A and B are shown apart, each in its own frame.
Chain A
Amino acid sequence: MNQILLALGFAASAFLIWLVGSFLKGEITIRKKTYARKDLFLKGLSVLLFLLYTPYLFSFEVVSDQVGLSGGVNTPVVTVLTGLLKWVTYFTLAATMVLAFFEKKPLADFAGIIAPVVLLLNAVFLKPVTVSIVGSADYFHWQIVLYAIVLSLAFGITGARTIELIKQKDFSAFFKRLGKAGLWSLVYLPAFLPVYLPQLFFGIIGDETLDFTLTHRLLIYISFAFPALAYIAFRKKSKDERLLFLIMLSLSGFMQYFCYTAHRDSLTNLPLHLCNTAIVLMLFAYVFRWKSVFYFTYLVNVLGAFCAILLPNTSDVLTEAGVIGFWYNHTYAFALPILGVALGIFERPNIKLMYGAIAAFSVYVLAAAVLNGWLNNSPLNVNGDEVDYFFLYSDFFIDKFAWAVPLKYDFIWQFQLGDTLMTFYWVYNLVIWAVFVALMFAIWGVYGLLYKTSDAHKELARRKKLMRFDHAQLLKELGGRSIKEPLHPEGATMIKITNFSKTYAGTDKKAVKDLNLEIHEGEVFGFIGHNGAGKSTTIKSLVGIQSITEGSIEVQGYDIARQPLQAKLNMGYVSDNHAVYENLTGREYISYVADLYMVSEKDKNERIEKYAKMFGLEKALDNEIKCYSHGMKQKTMVIGALIHNPKVWVLDEPLTGLDPTSSWQIKECMRQHADEGNIVFFSSHVIEVVEKVCDRIAIIADGKLQRVDRVEDIKKEGLSLEQLYLQYAQHPEAKLPASEIAATAEESVQTV
């Protein structure tokens, strides 16, 4: 009879909610935000469900103290069935509470298809369920009445969804949807395990969960693996799904805490102590995006939970409700804040958020100190519970740090408030507060390191992917040709610089802007410009020392950025800074370079012989380079650059600081190399040299190419290169219009 009455109540509730929902149409504006009336109604019902269910959770269920299946208020079989029903009902109620807030298909299907069945089963098994809660079939016990109201309301909310489904005749792929909803619920079900269930089903078995016993270690692994696995599983889901996951977990933590850990007969386990506080606060932090509270738990409780997981202060064995509650509680207190930031629901803490967290923590410490000072001395504390929220009142800390004893007992502030002698260890509490604030900063620093590591790994993965993509793109552009062949065979006899720009890290200014240049075989090409004009930058990008910000550079048809090895094989480079290993001998250095350029032993020896003779280095070649003069080092570098007889020879300020003989030798060498059909590209400040040696020149000023000319043409115009250079070097702002420069460059190329 009672079952039928309850089922009817369920049906009436569902119909009523559906009916009211159908009538509620249109929108309503509250504080400049617009809400659908029906949504608002359903959300209100969900909040009501939460408010009604919380006091029920806080009440005492007889079965929660039962150990093992036999000797209880129900038969073993019935106990198992009601236990499992309780478990599924917990989860169903939680899903019902969040239903109105998330548009998620499996959740909606679970609510519309599975949830009413689960709730109805409670009506079917009303008698054993009632007995398991209050110990007898007292259907009018306030707990049962409250439970019935909660179930009816939940059935109303989910049943209305069922009616909607039936009304819409939305039965497409019904079993597939049912299966998905079932799977979705299976993911969450372990989180909602009533903490007393293992003790009820299996009795008290297992090891103690401390001192790194096997059981303790397993629990540690699970606690630390859980956030990692959750992160991997949810990191790519939508933000809504991630939030739903975290709210479901925090709801589960909240429900587990109230159904067992928060002992109804003791003041000590109120949600004001360490991780208990975190578990309760976390739910509100997620629901209301309450930043200061969230970061308070993120910076304080995670550390506390971490310590508790490693060094638990419980000596119970595995299946005891206290142990299960302890591990769920601390795993959530550890994982939920970390996942909040890792899954992007809350941002990484900055100094402003730190202040908010410190403020929230300060309020908490103050509240805990006041409550400790009051409840420990108040006649209201009839059981004489030792109230010690955040260990501010007991000797917990001073047992470990004896030096702090005077801090506690030398500074006591007491005053009479009614019947209570309020007692505060104010200096001691202040010190604890200060130490924890310092710890918050330290943990912030640790998080900072972890973020940095995580970012580095993400960036590494991103760039690896990009490299693979670039390689595939290159192969595609090569169109089946070998990667050793030039990307653009038509440019196989030249250096081609196209729209090249370079910006250095840490600055917005372009060192070189939109440079276009073509240099052909047989040419000695001079690159001139004032200091900082962009000569070395261009050269360094050309030879592959520096990256290219925009545009492309091709050497003999090979793209230096994309086919660097092939491009470099065709180049020899003399730097402006004597880049030679000073502890090697000249011969060793040249041989080292020859090996890098894969020169045969015969060619290498011949060329060393030839160039050493040419530069007069025969005697010094087996001395360590650190004994060489400036000119000798420069000549060694020149030999190193020519050892593989490159098609393109690039020199950056090659004649700086050389004596006339050395200078002449290098100039001769350059001319000779170009006459052999190669390209010589060099930068210099020595205008006379450029004028004498070069076939063509380019002037660069302030990172922009000003003009490209044949030296002969300049002479024909009756200009001297020096005059021309000074015009651009001193007045780069008086340069020719861009179109004219481009025309000059093009004309010059055509002439060549």
Chain B
Amino acid sequence: MKEQGKEIKNTPLRRIKYLMLLQMGERLRAKKTQSGKKRAFIAFLKVCASIAVFAVAYFALGYFRDTFQMKLSKELLISILFLTQLVGIISAIGSILSILYTSKENTMLLAFPCKYGEIFISKLAVFALEEVKKSCFFIFPFLIAYGVLVGGAAYWIFLLPVWLMLCLFPVVIGAILSIPCIYVKRFLEKHMFLYALLIGTLLVFAFVLLTVLLSKLPTPVRLVAIYGKFIVAVEEFLASLSRLAVWYIFLGNLLFGVKIWLFLPLALVVFAAFGALCFYFAKPFYFKAVSSTVEAGRNKRHKPRHHKHNNIFLTFFRKEIKLFVRNSQSLNSAVFTILTFPLLSYVFNFILAAINTNVLGDFLSVAFNVMITLSILSTHNANSASALSSEGNEFSILKTAPSNTMIIAWAKIAVAEIVNVIALLTTFVMLTITTELSLANLGLMTLVLFLMTSGHIFWSFQLDVTNPKILDYAMKGGDGVVNNSNVARAVIIGFFTATITGVLVLLLLMDGFVSGWVRIILLAAAFFAARLYLFRSNLKVYFNDVQF
């Protein structure tokens, strides 16, 4: 190949580099449009955030060491790394499934004159770069904090390579595990009955397991009495956990300067082995998995059962329900929330009931329930922040239709509300059976939760209406958009709303049961009304401006 008279070698590395640049191009272009000052300021803020995480980690670890007499040992570090990496691997699998196999850009990338393995590597490399960037705000400052408190010379020497390996390891493992996961996912999507059966079985299993585990709790749990025992038990648990995490033991030993001559090669060999496994095992499956996504799917017939609706809302609602049921991702998310949420509530309330809460009685329990329920449900409801944008190209149908198509927003909200209400009701039933909270408390709590979660749905939707990402969804497809800033914002708003509501519920109930509930309901109703009004106004004003 010649470029300006110069011979260019079309090497795999060169192709991977350009594939990566192509995938990162959009973000790089967005950054180029920012002024130098703004970029410098954003960089400064990021450094500040990283320093803040370091400070929090430093003081938290110091606090645990000084107050709880917990030894900041090698084993503790290994356990923490192991646990965080477990979470990292699970999250990586989810992201890799979207990015690697279902992203719309695959159609374009597969057509390029590159080997499929190169596309695979470039995609993983882009994802890995993102993971490294993310880890600058958590793992890296945490490792530095740990090092400042207990690290020796070896710690600082091996900090960078260990950190890099920690960032890349979940990517490699995630890539390997994503292969069986994608096949299982597709299999279950084809066989809905099996899927439902599996979910049901898992649910029953989880319930039984949790009940067995919880029955081992000494009641009442007296935290002060079992304090010493508890800390020892935690330390023992972490030590036993650390013994399971073989590769992390190598890394821990490296950082603490134990037999470096042995553990350094071992760590590298294991890492390289997984890397090779990923390349030689996952790579061949990549094209097969992707192409089966890109190719036309199997013929799925549905009986023609359309009913004529003169009401635009019902037209939209039917369509939304159909799409919701036929979209495995949204359905899974809803089923997961509806089924796991009452379980979590059950566990939480069991523990809370076991702890002696005589001082504040039911109020503390109600406040915590409100806080936890709101946090979890609002995380699910934050999906409303992408409801309109996820229409993608299809949004043009709404724009050209001669109807008040902003009604679609209400149809989408109705679907979100149905899931929300089912989750709340199942939780209500579960709490009625499993807790000693009075029916009045539970009923009023459910009402408040309904008002708050509904308000949050309106708020989330409003974020989407005022700052739509339709172009992203049109280009990448629903699965391809991983970081929707509106959704992230909605999650943060949900978290703050949950915290503030929980605190207010506690404070107001402490003032008096009846007056407390009256005020809580009034506040929740005010929140609901304000969000409804603002959503309606914003929808009216900005819906027609949504374009791509």
Residue numbers of A with Cβ under 8 A of B are 212, 351, 403, 438, 441, 456, 460, 463-464, 467, 540, 543-547, 564-571, 573, 575, 577-581, 583-585, 587-588, 591-593, 595-598, 601, 604, 621-624, 626-629, 640
Given A351-B41, A575-B393, A581-B319, CB of A212 within 8 Å of CB of B404: no
Q: Which residues of B lie under 8 Å from residue A569 when comparing CB positions? A: 402
- In the complex, the answer to whether A595 meets B322 with C-beta atoms within 8 Å is no
Give the complex CA separation of A581 and B324 in angstroms. Answer: 12
Interface residues of B in 371-398 (CB under 8 A from A): 393-397
- For the complex with contacts A575-B393, A621-B304, A626-B300, 5 further pairs of A-B residues with Cβ separation under 8 Å are A545-B400, A564-B402, A585-B302, A593-B401, A595-B315
Whole-angstrom distance between the Cβ of A231 and the nearest chain B Cβ: 18
Whole-angstrom distance between the Cβ of A661 and the nearest chain B Cβ: 19
- Total number of A-B contacts with CB less than 8 angstroms? 134
| Residue in contact with B393 in the complex, picked from A564, A578, A623, CB distance below 8 Å | A578
Interface residues of B in 265-311 (CB under 8 A from A): 296-304, 306, 308-310
- In the complex, the answer to whether A622 meets B308 with C-beta atoms within 8 Å is no
| Residue in contact with B402 in the complex, picked from A464, A566, A580, A587, CB distance below 8 Å | A566
Whole-angstrom distance between the Cβ of B423 and the nearest chain A Cβ: 23
Whole-angstrom distance between the Cβ of B500 and the nearest chain A Cβ: 14
- In the complex, the answer to whether A601 meets B308 with C-beta atoms within 8 Å is yes
- In the complex, the answer to whether B401 meets A596 with C-beta atoms within 8 Å is yes
Give the complex CA separation of A262 and B326 in angstroms. Answer: 72
| Residue in contact with B48 in the complex, picked from A438, A579, A601, CB distance below 8 Å | A438
- In the complex, the answer to whether A463 meets B541 with C-beta atoms within 8 Å is yes
Give the complex CA separation of A623 and B399 in angstroms. Answer: 26
Given A464-B541, A627-B300, CB of A565 within 8 Å of CB of B393: no
Give the complex CA separation of A627 and B55 in angstroms. Answer: 54
- In the complex, the answer to whether B326 meets A460 with C-beta atoms within 8 Å is no
Given A577-B474, A581-B323, A595-B308, CB of A460 within 8 Å of CB of B303: no
- In the complex, the answer to whether B538 meets A460 with C-beta atoms within 8 Å is yes
| Residue in contact with B405 in the complex, picked from A438, A596, A601, A628, CB distance below 8 Å | A596
Whole-angstrom distance between the Cβ of A294 and the nearest chain B Cβ: 22
Given A460-B538, A583-B323, A595-B315, CB of A543 within 8 Å of CB of B399: yes
Q: List 5 A-B contacts (CB under 8 A).
A: A403-B62, A579-B397, A588-B304, A604-B308, A627-B297
- In the complex, the answer to whether A584 meets B322 with C-beta atoms within 8 Å is yes
Whole-angstrom distance between the Cβ of B127 and the nearest chain A Cβ: 26
Residue numbers of B with Cβ under 8 A of A are 37, 41, 48, 59, 62, 66, 296-304, 306, 308-310, 312, 315, 319, 322-323, 326-327, 393-397, 399-405, 466, 474, 507, 534, 537-538, 540-541, 544-545, 547-548
Q: Which residues of B lie under 8 Å from residue A640 when comparing CB positions? A: 397
Q: Which residues of B lie under 8 Å from residue A547 when comparing CB positions? A: 544-545, 547
- In the complex, the answer to whether A565 meets B402 with C-beta atoms within 8 Å is yes
| Residue in contact with A597 in the complex, picked from B296, B309, B401, B474, CB distance below 8 Å | B401
- In the complex, the answer to whether A622 meets B304 with C-beta atoms within 8 Å is yes
- In the complex, the answer to whether B401 meets A441 with C-beta atoms within 8 Å is no
Whole-angstrom distance between the Cβ of A567 and the nearest chain B Cβ: 8
- In the complex, the answer to whether B540 meets A544 with C-beta atoms within 8 Å is no
The 4 A-B pairs at the shortest CB distance, nearest first, are namely A569-B402, A568-B402, A596-B401, A595-B315
Give the complex CA separation of A464 and B394 in angstroms. Answer: 27
Given A460-B537, A592-B319, A596-B402, CB of A623 within 8 Å of CB of B327: no
Give the complex CA separation of A605 and B545 in angstroms. Answer: 34
Give the complex CA separation of A571 and B401 in angstroms. Answer: 9
Q: Which residues of B lie under 8 Å from residue A593 when comparing CB positions? A: 397, 401
Instruction: Select from chain A the residue with minimum beta-carbon distance to B67.
Output: A402
| Residue in contact with A565 in the complex, picked from B66, B304, B326, B403, CB distance below 8 Å | B403
Given A581-B394, A584-B322, CB of A544 within 8 Å of CB of B399: yes
- In the complex, the answer to whether B547 meets A545 with C-beta atoms within 8 Å is yes
Give the complex CA separation of A598 and B544 in angstroms. Answer: 20
Q: Which residues of B lie under 8 Å from residue A597 when comparing CB positions? A: 401-403
Given A438-B48, A463-B541, CB of A583 within 8 Å of CB of B41: no
Whole-angstrom distance between the Cβ of A522 and the nearest chain B Cβ: 23
- Find the residue from B393, B395, B401 having the highest chain A CB count within 10 A: B401
Q: Which residues of B lie under 8 Å from residue A595 when comparing CB positions? A: 308-309, 312, 315
- In the complex, the answer to whether B394 meets A580 with C-beta atoms within 8 Å is yes
- Find the residue from B327, B397, B537 having the highest chain A CB count within 10 A: B397
Instruction: Select from chain A the residue with minimum beta-carbon distance to B305.
Output: A588
Give the complex CA separation of A486 and B364 in angstroms. Answer: 63
Q: Which residues of A lie under 8 Å from residue B306 when comparing CB positions? A: 587-588, 591
Q: Which residues of A lie under 8 Å from residue B545 when comparing CB positions? A: 547
Whole-angstrom distance between the Cβ of A720 and the nearest chain B Cβ: 34
- In the complex, the answer to whether B302 meets A588 with C-beta atoms within 8 Å is yes
Give the complex CA separation of A569 and B301 in angstroms. Answer: 31
Whole-angstrom distance between the Cβ of A465 and the nearest chain B Cβ: 10
Q: Which residues of B lie under 8 Å from residue A573 when comparing CB positions? A: 396, 400
- In the complex, the answer to whether B399 meets A464 with C-beta atoms within 8 Å is no
| Residue in contact with B302 in the complex, picked from A543, A545, A622, CB distance below 8 Å | A622
Whole-angstrom distance between the Cβ of B477 and the nearest chain A Cβ: 10
Whole-angstrom distance between the Cβ of B389 and the nearest chain A Cβ: 14
Q: Which residues of B lie under 8 Å from residue A545 when comparing CB positions? A: 396, 399-400, 547-548
- In the complex, the answer to whether B296 meets A627 with C-beta atoms within 8 Å is yes
Instruction: Select from chain B the residue with minimum beta-carbon distance to A402.
Output: B66
Instruction: Select from chain A the residue with minimum beta-carbon distance to B59.
Output: A403
- In the complex, the answer to whether B323 meets A584 with C-beta atoms within 8 Å is yes
| Residue in contact with A583 in the complex, picked from B48, B326, B405, CB distance below 8 Å | B326
Whole-angstrom distance between the Cβ of B249 and the nearest chain A Cβ: 31
Give the complex CA separation of A629 and B295 in angstroms. Answer: 10
Give the complex CA separation of A438 and B54 in angstroms. Answer: 14
Q: Which residues of B lie under 8 Å from residue A564 when comparing CB positions? A: 402, 544
Give the complex CA separation of A464 and B539 in angstroms. Answer: 11
Whole-angstrom distance between the Cβ of A609 and the nearest chain B Cβ: 12
Give the complex CA separation of A568 and B400 in angstroms. Answer: 6
Give the complex CA separation of A660 and B327 in angstroms. Answer: 34
Instruction: Select from chain B the residue with minimum beta-carbon distance to A590.
Output: B306
Whole-angstrom distance between the Cβ of B385 and the nearest chain A Cβ: 16
Q: Which residues of B lie under 8 Å from residue A622 when comparing CB positions? A: 301-304
Q: Which residues of A lie under 8 Å from residue B397 when comparing CB positions? A: 579, 593, 596, 640
- In the complex, the answer to whether B402 meets A627 with C-beta atoms within 8 Å is no
- Find the residue from A441, A595, A601 having the highest chain B CB count within 10 A: A595
Given A571-B400, A587-B306, CB of A596 within 8 Å of CB of B297: no
- In the complex, the answer to whether A579 meets B396 with C-beta atoms within 8 Å is yes
Whole-angstrom distance between the Cβ of B299 and the nearest chain A Cβ: 5
Give the complex CA separation of A579 and B507 in angstroms. Answer: 52
Q: Which residues of B lie under 8 Å from residue A540 when comparing CB positions? A: 396, 547
Whole-angstrom distance between the Cβ of B526 and the nearest chain A Cβ: 15
Q: Which residues of A lie under 8 Å from residue B48 when comparing CB positions? A: 438, 441
Give the complex CA separation of A595 and B314 in angstroms. Answer: 10
- In the complex, the answer to whether A212 meets B326 with C-beta atoms within 8 Å is no
Whole-angstrom distance between the Cβ of A149 and the nearest chain B Cβ: 53
